[in-house]
A and B are shown apart, each in its own frame.
Chain A
């Protein structure tokens, strides 16, 4: 009899099946495993009912300080998630389906991903988006890989105002390759243009920037993107997607690649995961895109439908050749890593964006979700002037804290949210 309730065969059915197979017992099915290779230990606790498990998990969760109000930011943001998002993203037809390799029975997932790709293009101002990656930091590492492949060069300049955890991920990914990563330290939290221009040369594959920066500064990187292009380097901008309702887009700046983390698009904090990473590029880079890509086509009756495309369907044929030949036209950069899109998270993004994008108050600036975070920043800004050392370029960004911690700290301590802790506005 089944111990867990998830194995439905009754003892009578088991007997019948063993007979069909032609063995006497289940143990016979494992006879090929010699004694010397059998498990030496399997000391796990006994199982329990759903009720008891949930009580145990609730007790464990009780050891978290769940009443803390998180103003921490740093890549994870506590936005309100409208009820409809959970409702739709949680549908079993999305949540328990598989990667859409058989398109005829996966048009739901495929069309949702195509719509997601379109939305990311509209937000970032770029031509082409893939169907998502693991998270923002790994998306940044993938973008770095792309730039190395496309240019054939071996140096990357990274702004120190890029999220420090994302920078660490890039270092991990590139550690085994003969690639130089040069970090350009910010000056008072702002991008050091002089140092960037000094470091930019004919060996530079890419410059990597973030907007808003990790310290909250808002910038326009058009000048740097143009300089990079003139030297044959790519520009990669990591962005906070909600801010793109208001802020100048990577596309408008002339950047080649935009990446970022999609947690803020309808995903709960959940101790940092799961989330998804987005990656959008200018048209000319499409064949170097990593990850899944959904394209529109027609069926044999002329009806519109969607399929995975430009994928190494033959990845199991391409294997190591696909990656050593990393400028291949047939497949994205690392086709053999089954870079499954994260439709579970992406459907949340879709539903959220389409929900929120509808609230056009006054039309001209578009996305009011960008407005709400700015209000939140206003809460933390005690003085109306920009912080010392920031010119017009750098204003405390929507949704971030004022860099003058004493003022913010006073506020935060006064609220009693984190005793003695101002949170950390810096790397």
Chain B
């Protein structure tokens, strides 16, 4: 399919700008202007519509396909939540910074404040900042706040401890904030090895980062003990909230002893993934870290009105304005519609669906941790590897059958990992259809592996040469 640039015809145009009745002033001096036009495509509106519409049809999406991506929580995105943004779309973010300006935006400030309070109740944290623009930025905020905490107490701390099953963002975030990372191996039962953990902890550890439930989809009862051990050494504990979908209403990280966590609105709270963004990663804290929350924060007076406040010990600003506000509105709408019982139902159905898939597939794929799982389960393609078939080949076959593949090759602690998270919004029929194709792939691995190596064959492109893409770099059309 051609690029939009390749469809350009000199002299063609689309929309026209409204006429202006403002008297024209002098032109800017030539030295301040660009020498040559930008070279953007000259196309008509119909050209643009056909181009992007056709492109969109080369995508899988939740609205058309099942996406059992472990740790991504690709649940259905409620259209009512989209609709809720409409009345807020025209509000300028600088208004509350004018003198008395917050009076102009009591509704928008109210969205942020109400969402923050709901997230605090859902997670057992004291307060939230909705400013972080993604989960990874929420993580960064959390570790920065921990650093600020230690600095304020005159502690010299060098290390952050993570399990080797953690998502790569955890140690990466720690490194960016200037910490060295200590990694603890996973024990055969899927937990962090407690003996090694105890030996690893010392008075130079700033923080321990964990995912709860963990990245294998298992709830680890030792998690409270880990928090206690960390606190004994004066370290704080960070909870990666990516897997919150499993425990809504059942467990609150704040109750267990976590000091800080982020949530992913585009996972647990059903805002769209948009092909990779925008997401939103609000960060919540317990008492100790309250002073360090990003600023500005939305506060509420006794009369119920909202205002922005700064704080002397805040780690500072993370976003140009108030966070991904349109995403915050969607999440607030979602939580409002579901309410207490709806959110509990989310976790129960998510866990039910994952256990059902696990039970049906465990005869066909190796199951490293054969126990009741939470909202996701992890298989290994090790059995299929005996025939030369990798998790990647299973994935490509699924694409041919109209399913987006599960997460593959993560977590690292499982070879040829296939991590399946159905989410609560999928029907039993969809799960059964997916299971049938997974079984078909397992059978093909034994009887006709070549068929899997050729997959996918039904898409606009077959397997792509990624080595060539990296060696002969072409990231911009030069035409």
Contacts and interface: CB of A to CB of B under 8 A. Distances in A.
A354 B320 contact: no
25 contacts: A6-B75, A20-B356, A32-B371, A41-B121, A46-B339, A62-B87, A84-B15, A95-B274, A105-B65, A107-B58, A111-B1, A118-B476, A123-B40, A132-B277, A172-B144, A218-B28, A244-B34, A269-B92, A271-B88, A274-B325, A275-B278, A275-B320, A299-B464, A309-B466, A320-B172
Interface residues of B, number: 203
A354 B276 CA distance: 22
B231 interface: no
Contact of A96 (B250, B272, B356): B272
B275 A17 contact: no
Contact of A84 (B37, B48, B294): B48
Contact of B321 (A91, A100, A271): A271
B5 A118 contact: yes
Interface residues of A, number: 207
Nearest to A267: B326
A136 B327 CA distance: 18
B351 interface: yes
B335 interface: yes
A98 B468 CA distance: 24
A318 interface: yes
Contact of B412 (A94, A317, A320, A395): A317
A268 interface: yes
Pick from A62, A102, A129, A375 the residue with the most CB of B within 10 Å.
Answer: A102
Nearest to A137: B320
Contacts of B445: none
Contact of B34 (A18, A94, A112, A366): A366
Interface stretch (B194-202, B341-349, B379-387): B341-349
B89 interface: yes
Contacts of A247: 28, 32-34
A287 to B, nearest CB: 9
B97 A424 contact: yes
A152 interface: no
A3 B342 contact: yes
B168 A122 contact: no
A66 interface: yes
B433 interface: no
Contacts of A169: 316-320
A318 B355 CA distance: 31
Contacts of A231: none
A319 B172 contact: yes
A129 B332 CA distance: 34
Given A118-B3, A121-B476, A358-B12, 17 more contacts: A14-B352, A32-B221, A32-B372, A42-B249, A43-B340, A44-B118, A84-B14, A108-B55, A168-B316, A244-B38, A270-B85, A294-B475, A299-B464, A337-B169, A338-B136, A357-B40, A424-B94
B45 A323 contact: no
Contacts of A60: 107, 110-111
Contact of B88 (A54, A61, A360): A61
Interface in B435-462: 456, 459-462
Interface stretch (A153-161, A185-193, A196-204, A342-350): A342-350
Interface in B171-205: 171-178, 180-181
